[in-house]
Structure 1
Amino acid sequence: MRIGSYEFRPGFVPTLAVVLVLPLLTALGFWQLDRAKETQAYLDSLHAGRQAAAINLNTTEPEYSVAQHRIATARGRYDSTHQFLLDNQVYKGRVGYHVLTPLRLSDVGAAVLVDRGWVAAPFDRKVLPDVGVPETERGVSGVIDKGPSVAVRLGRAYVGQGDWPQRIGYVDFSYIAQALPYRVTPYLIRLDPDAGDGFVRVPPKPAMGPEKNLGYAAQWFAMATAVVIIYFLVNLKRRVNDN
């Protein structure tokens, strides 16, 4: 292709490199744009949950899509016999568990899991921490959530040996519903920081703002643009006058 006194003559190797690299850089840019939308939606949900009226789980059981991140109150009795220890939860550099205790709701016939917080794991991993709690009737409050996250979900949720409390690798409400002898809601309450009968309350890590995702997207698109410009300049040759 001729452009004035220059001729564009791309070689095979640089063309192949561009064909391989350019789609990747572009895809990473659009991925960051999608992440920005997801992050903004999450932050909007957090804000909406804080502004919404509290939910009384003794009188209503909304879908998670309606209840997520809202304050919830519940009255009932903890089931100290059937508790779950969410494994591999790190706090200040130490491995431990999040203690998930069913609260059997008064006059309802169902239960909701309560994340009572983080507790350190004994150095002997065969020994489980003492997470017993009185089963007297009480009221609890906290934020409705899906539970603490884990890096990777591999295999089945249950990683224990058949005894209670059960050690689980991740929160799987389908498994939890099968393990308990009563109905349980498909979400949990993250116990208030100042509530009793809990352990270390670890708030969820704040989401990275969407502006950072947009910044990363701009970087990927800028790199893609630079690749195109470099490819064009490297393969643009001055025409030799044959006369």
Structure 2
Amino acid sequence: MNGSDRAGSDDYARSGDGGTTRPPAAPPRRFRPRWLPTLAAVLLVPLFIAAGQWQWHKAGAKAELQRQYETLGSGPAVQVPAELVAAESLRYRRVAARGTYEPGRQILIDNQTYRQRAGFQVVTPLRIEGGGMRVLVDRGWIPGLPEHDRVPEVDTPAGTVEVSGLAVVPGSRFFTLKDERGDGAWPRVWQNLDMERYAALAGFPVQPVVIRLDPQSAAGGFVREWPQPDDRRLMNLGYALQWWSFAATTVALWLYLGFRRKT
């Protein structure tokens, strides 16, 4: 660089009074949140936190059911009495009952699959010896017929039988697509096992549990590969953390957008 160029550069770098020019300082950032991000945060953060808590409680409930299944199911068998009992007193316990099957009030639960084949679960009431109380026995799965409008015939042992198995409590939230009362005849095919509706239609008292017949039992059983309770609590815990991370991200974005330079 020659002398004239150096001089020109020096002249450019200095102000008129001999000082060096500097760019003007940026105004400081101040926290002044806008109303729209604030409204979004107020609405979304509690929603995300509540969704996370719901998933967290679901995981805890599933863990408790799994614990009950493993603990109670390994104990000695409890005799099902001829008097009505609370469902929770028998849930996931090994139970036994003695009585006679009543095939006239037997039902087939539709849309049940086994190894990718459609069929039915056979549920038969057992009249417990010593009274008029019944308990429903899930005797297992049978295949459907090629003619979908036909119902398969089911063999049922006559006389006194001894049944044993695991007591389960059926669900209670169903959506029924049709009235299963039909023309007054007993409805053999049901979409689901609604215990209250069954007792109302059958006209006799029923214990609030269903006995899943043991695979080793000879009391008129069919295919019995019983599933364990749906234990997917790790998935629920993952969902909980995901919802809570959404809440944290929303707060972070609200803070970031709230710091603005004063104009």
TM-score bin, normalised by smaller chain = 0.7 to 0.9
Q: Following TM superposition, by how much is the alpha carbon of 1:97 offset from its aligned partner in structure 2, in angstroms?
A: 1.8
Which residue of the partner structure matches residue 55 of structure 1? 78
Which structure has the greater CA radius of gyration? 2
Q: Does 1:237 align with 2:253?
A: no
- Residues 89 and 235 (structure 1), Cα distance of their counterparts in 2 relative to 1, 3 Å cut: same
Q: Deviation string for 1:120-166 (max 9, x for gaps)?
A: 2334332111112121322110011123x598433677365544462
Which residue of the partner structure matches residue 190 of structure 1? 212
Conserved in 1, the CA contact under 8 Å of 2:97 and 2:164?
A: yes
TM-score, with length taken from structure 1: 0.83
Provide the C-alpha distance between the structure 1 equivalents of 2:174 and 2:206, rounded to a whole number of angstroms: 25
Secondary structure in 2 aligned to 1:218?
A: helix
Conserved in 2, the CA contact under 8 Å of 1:157 and 1:171?
A: no
The structure where strand makes up a greater share of residues is 1
- Residues 87 and 157 (structure 1), Cα distance of their counterparts in 2 relative to 1, 3 Å cut: farther
Provide the C-alpha distance between the structure 2 equivalents of 1:157 and 1:90, rounded to a whole number of angstroms: 23
Where does the alignment leave 5 or more consecutive residues of structure 1 unmatched?
Answer: none
Query: How many matched pairs?
Result: 236
Secondary structure in 1 aligned to 2:136?
A: strand
Q: Does 1:33 align with 2:50?
A: no
Q: Following TM superposition, by how much is the alpha carbon of 1:189 offset from its aligned partner in structure 2, in angstroms?
A: 0.5
Q: Following TM superposition, by how much is the alpha carbon of 1:174 offset from its aligned partner in structure 2, in angstroms?
A: 2.2
Q: Deviation string for 1:195-243 (max 9, x for gaps)?
A: 2322222423432343432232122111210111022113322345xxx
After superposition, the CA RMSD in angstroms is 2.7
Conserved in 2, the CA contact under 8 Å of 1:160 and 1:166?
A: no
- Residues 108 and 159 (structure 1), Cα distance of their counterparts in 2 relative to 1, 3 Å cut: closer
Q: Does 1:122 align with 2:132?
A: no
% identical equivalent positions: 33
Q: Equivalent of 2:245, from 222, 232, 238?
A: 222
Secondary structure in 1 aligned to 2:103?
A: coil
Conserved in 2, the CA contact under 8 Å of 1:58 and 1:108?
A: no
Q: Equivalent of 2:129, from 106, 112, 134?
A: 106
Which residue of the partner structure matches residue 155 of structure 2? 132
Provide the C-alpha distance between the structure 1 equivalents of 2:72 and 2:132, rounded to a whole number of angstroms: 26
Where does the alignment leave 5 or more consecutive residues of structure 2 unmatched?
Answer: 1-26
Q: Does 1:170 align with 2:192?
A: yes
